[in-house]
Amino acid sequence: MSLDKFFVTGDPLIYGADVSIVLTMVAIVFVLTYFKKWKWLWKEWLTTVDHKKIGIMYIIAAIAMLFRGGVDALLMRTQLAVPNAKFLESQHYNEIFTTHGTIMILFMAMPFIIGLMNIAVPLQIGARDVAYPYLNAISFWSFFMGAMLFNISFVIGGSPDAGWTSYMPLASNEMSPGPGENYYLLGLQLSGIGTLLTGVNFLVTIFKMRAPGMKLFQMPMFTWSSLITCVIIIFAFPILTVALALLTFDRLFGSHFFTLDGGGLDMMWANLFWLWGHPEVYIVILPAFGMFSDIISTFAKKTIFGYKAMVYSMIVISVLSFIVWVHHFFTMGNTAAVNDFFSISTMLISIPTGVKIFNWLFTMYRGKIQFTTPMLWALAFIPNFVIGGVTGVMLAMAAADYQYHNTYFLIAHFHYVLIAGTVFGCFAGFHYWYPKMFGHKLNERLGKWCFWLFIIGFNICFLPQFFLGLDGMPRRIFTYGADTGWFSLNMLSTVGAFLMGAGFIVLVYNVYYSFRHSKREETGDAWDGRTLEWATSSAIPPHYNFAKIPVVTGYDAFWKMKQEGVSMKLKPEEVKPIHMPSNSGRPFVMSVFLFIAGFGLVWEWWPMAIVGGAGILLCLALRSFDYDDGYHVSVEEIKETENITV
């Protein structure tokens, strides 16, 4: 194969990306070598099985992917700002909207949510780690390698260009030749494995490792939402695994699942994709709901209103999430009865969601509200998400959907739920748990700048798109004529998108600024919190989390302990050695083999795929023969960490 087929050539934007990737890599290698940090990187991060560090790595990856997906978005908005723009050609535009959607959902929203779950859930239930710390490292690294595999496509081989839904027959060999779609299939497959394992891991963790006394209906709301999310992951992700595998077979081995010839059914791909895809929407929104519940309760200084109603409405949402998938293609040509069923099941979701909205409002009613940055995000979530929800009910009406389908109305709708729900949730959770991760808060003033820039930009960007959609502007077009009359609203939308970009830059700058200037927290309780993650002995919890496992007697466990004056401090004679799992480099090595196997399959280089596969099997076998039973943290070390003196 010639090199110009291997590397993407001919586009100045791509050459710019090539240069920046090489420079970034050189810079990373230089910094690590200059400051002699290679060993630190390996020992503290690459081999860690500590849920808090894995959570931080997830969030760093998610923010990097938010940058990548955000740049894609800005490129699209630049192209659409004026009619007949020549900034991007159609093929490049197709690639960019494909990678934007895929990256934002699977490589930004998912890891951000799972990262925050990693950081908060074990602490919230008073556990020392997750049920399977080693598996947790495998989850992260297989996600990470999946993300890398997907991301290198735009400089090596070419990006996928069939949309994030990768509909057949557009994604077939005939319509999308080259490795682009293979990158999509394999990248998602690798990260999907990681997500499924996270689902199993956290389900067992939450069921079996809660602190003594914590009943299911006393768990913090974020833990509840994570539990329900895990159940959805366990039943939804295998569907994606199979769908991706079948499409991979179609492309690599000539099978006929979704092809137009040989008896295949192209719309079966759409069905399988959305059978996973719609539950996926709830996988990224329910944990955000959980975060908002905890944050609103903390900063309104009140117990959450209607605890049981909150839990049951999440359970109802999770069940309904599996029976609404056809609403993504009402126009497929189903019978009226089928469309009616899915119309009604979709509208039903607004009932439990409405219950939750009112419960958040009632939690704040007569509360002493503190307008901190996390609380601002939570407050902004409510009205913006309601706009997304109400337009969702409009789209749920099958007959009306024939008008809205594939227009910017839909684009505006799902950005109002995914950004106002998931992204606001991630930002809220990021600010909220930041002191737990790094021992200091993010600067409040910069936090508010970021908030207002982003929130105003968001509404300027997406509100006009409802009207563009009603005016007939279809999605996924790379340009439009001047006679359409869509220019002014598109221009407005682009301005909003750049404001959001500015908000993102302030967020990243805030991380740096706060690292330099923020006051270091002295206790584990940065926000006068209500749940157990704030009960740790220091701002950044020690690696074993709790020297003394808290005993829980009710909801808002830590708040109750503070009210009743229960101390978490150990007496010297109570200190016992703590059993912890050992670090391991194998999850990282195994994920490198996953990457090799994936890359081999993408290019149909079978020897490479076989080497990767053999490496994976070898790592699995080595794990089976691994009898490392962890180690015990000594009493002296605990006494020193916890400042316990006789």
Partner 1 sequence: MEHSEKYDSNTPLEYQSEQGRLNILGFWVFLGAEVALFSTLFGTYLVLMHRNAGGPMLTDLFELKGVLIETFLLLASSFTCGLAIHEMRRNNQKGLVVWMIITLLLGLGFLGFEIDEFISYVGEGASLQTSAALSGFFVLVGTHGLHVTMGVGWIICILIQVASRGLTPVTTRKLFISSLYWHFLDFVWIFIFTAVYLTGWVMM
* Residues near partner 1 (CB under 8 A): 128-129, 131-132, 196, 199-201, 203-204, 207-209, 234-239, 241-243, 245-246, 249, 253-257, 259, 261-265, 268, 272, 275, 576, 578-580, 617, 621, 624-625, 627, 630
Would you say 196 or 575 has its CB closer to partner 1? 196
Residue 366: left (phi > 0), alpha (psi -120 to 50), or beta?
A: left
Q: How far is the CB of 15 from partner 1 (least distance, A)?
A: 40
Q: How far is the CB of 444 from partner 1 (least distance, A)?
A: 38
Q: How far is the CB of 122 from partner 1 (least distance, A)?
A: 12
Q: How far is the CB of 568 from partner 1 (least distance, A)?
A: 18
Round to whole Å and give the CA distance between 494 and 509: 23
Would you say 84 or 624 has its CB closer to partner 1? 624
Q: Is the peptide bond before 464 cis (omega within 30 degrees of 0)?
A: no
The set of residues, in sequence order, having a beta carbon less than 8 Å from that of 92 and lying 6+ positions away, is 11, 13
Backbone angles phi, psi at 631, to 5 degrees: -145, 170
In order, the DSSP letters of 26-82 are: HHHHHHHHHTT-HHHIIIIIIT---HHHHHHHHHHHHHHHHHHHHHHHHHHHHHHSS
Q: How far is the CB of 215 from partner 1 (least distance, A)?
A: 18
Q: How far is the CB of 557 from partner 1 (least distance, A)?
A: 20
Is 158 within 8 Å of 179 (Cβ atoms)?
yes
Q: Spell out a b/e string for 390-428, using b for 16 or more CB atoms within 10 Å of the CB, else e.
A: ebbeebbbbeebeebbebbbbbbbbbbbbbbbbbbbbbb
Q: How far is the CB of 621 from partner 1 (least distance, A)?
A: 6
Single out the residue of 646, 640, 590 nearest to residue 615, CA to CA: 590
Would you say 626 or 636 has its CB closer to partner 1? 626
Q: How far is the CB of 544 from partner 1 (least distance, A)?
A: 9
Q: How far is the CB of 204 from partner 1 (least distance, A)?
A: 5
Q: How far is the CB of 254 from partner 1 (least distance, A)?
A: 4
Would you say 195 or 531 has its CB closer to partner 1? 195
For the chain, what is the radius of gyration of the CA atoms? 25
Would you say 243 or 437 has its CB closer to partner 1? 243
Q: Spell out a b/e string for 180-209, using b for 16 or more CB atoms within 10 Å of the CB, else e.
A: bbbbbbbbbbbbbbbbbbbbbbbbebbeeb
Would you say 207 or 365 has its CB closer to partner 1? 207
Round to whole Å and give the CA distance between 225 and 222: 5
Would you say 130 or 492 has its CB closer to partner 1? 130
Q: How far is the CB of 265 from partner 1 (least distance, A)?
A: 7
Q: How far is the CB of 238 from partner 1 (least distance, A)?
A: 4
For 149-160, what is the HEC assignment? HHHHCCCECCCC
Q: How far is the CB of 234 from partner 1 (least distance, A)?
A: 5
Q: How far is the CB of 494 from partner 1 (least distance, A)?
A: 41
The set of residues, in sequence order, having a beta carbon less than 8 Å from that of 265 and lying 6+ positions away, is 257, 258
Q: Which of 129-132's residues contact partners 24+ apart within 8 Å by CB, and which partners?
A: 129/49, 129/50, 129/51, 129/545, 129/580, 129/581, 130/51, 130/201, 130/202, 130/205, 130/209, 131/201, 131/204, 131/205, 131/208, 131/209, 132/200, 132/201, 132/204
From residue 52, give the alpha-carbon distance in Å to each of 112, 117, 138, 361, 451: 13, 9, 15, 32, 26
Round to whole Å and give the CA distance between 452 and 292: 18
Would you say 71 or 265 has its CB closer to partner 1? 265
Q: How far is CA 507 from the centre of its chain?
A: 17
Round to whole Å and give the CA distance between 564 and 346: 45
Q: Spell out a b/e string for 457-479, using b for 16 or more CB atoms within 10 Å of the CB, else e.
A: bbbbbbbbbbebbeeebebeebb
Would you say 261 or 564 has its CB closer to partner 1? 261
Would you say 442 or 580 has its CB closer to partner 1? 580
Q: How far is the CB of 541 from partner 1 (least distance, A)?
A: 16
Would you say 202 or 432 has its CB closer to partner 1? 202
Would you say 31 or 617 has its CB closer to partner 1? 617
Round to whole Å and give the CA distance between 223 and 120: 8
Residue 411 CB-half CA count within 13 A:
26
Would you say 209 or 470 has its CB closer to partner 1? 209
Round to whole Å and give the CA distance between 383 and 261: 48
The set of residues, in sequence order, having a beta carbon less than 8 Å from that of 308 and lying 6+ positions away, is 217
Token duo for residue 628:
């490392």
Is 568 within 8 Å of 628 (Cβ atoms)?
no
Would you say 241 or 641 has its CB closer to partner 1? 241
Would you say 207 or 312 has its CB closer to partner 1? 207
SS3 633: strand
The set of residues, in sequence order, having a beta carbon less than 8 Å from that of 23 and lying 6+ positions away, is none
Q: How far is the CB of 561 from partner 1 (least distance, A)?
A: 22
Would you say 539 or 578 has its CB closer to partner 1? 578
